[in-house]
Amino acid sequence: MAQEQVFITVIGKDQKGIIARISNAVFAHNINIEDLNQKIMGGYFVMTMLADTTDSPVTITQLKKELSVIEDEMGLKIQVQHENIFKTMHRV
C-alpha cells in the first residue's frame, strides 16, 4: 500500500498537554508519528506533526472530527491535511 502521510498542525495559546493529547489520539488509531516540530511564533504555540496513516483504519475526516474535541477543549486551531498539498505548493 502507498504510504499515506498527513500533516497535523496546531496553532494556539501555549499550555500543558497539547502534544500529549494529540499523540494519544493518533496512537489510539494506529497512526505513526514520523516527525514533529514545535515553536513559539509571535507568542503562539505552533506545532507541525507529520503522521503516517497507512496502517490506520480511520479516514482524515474521522481523525479531524476526533481532534476537533481537543481543539474545542483547549482553544486551539487544529488542521489535518494530506502531505501532497505541501509537496505541491513548496517543492518544484
Partner 1 sequence: MEYSLEEVMETVRMTLYHNFDIRTVTLGINLKDCINSDLDIFKENVYTRVSGYGRRLILEARKLEDKYGIPITNKRISVTPVSLIIEACAEPDAPLEIAKTLDKASKDVGIDFIGGYGALVQKGMTRADERLIGSLPEVLSSTERVCAFLNVASTVSGMNMDAVIRLGKTLKEIASKTRNGIGCARFVVFANAPEDNPFMAGAFHGVGEPDFSLNIGISGPGVVRSVVEKNRSCNLTELSEVIKRTTFKITRAGELIGRELSRNLSVPFGIVDISLASTTKVGDSVAGIVEMMGVEKMGAPGSTAALALLIDAVKKGGAMASGNVGGLSGTFIPVSEDSCMNEAVRLGALSIEKLEALTAVCSVGLDMIAIPGDTPAETISAIIADELAIGVVNSKTTGVRLVPVPGKIKGDYVNFGGLLGETYVMDISAFSSHDFIMRGGRMPGPVTGMRN
The least CB distance from residue 60 to partner 1, in Å, is: 5
Contact status: 37 vs partner 1 (CB under 8 A): yes
CA dist list (Å): 54 to 14, 25, 72, 91: 30, 16, 27, 23
Query: Segment near partner 1 (CB under 8 A), from 12-20, 22-30, 34-42, 66-74?
Result: 34-42
Contact residues: partner 1, CB under 8 A: 7, 9, 11, 35, 37-39, 41, 46, 48, 50, 59-61, 64, 77, 79-82, 84-86, 88-90
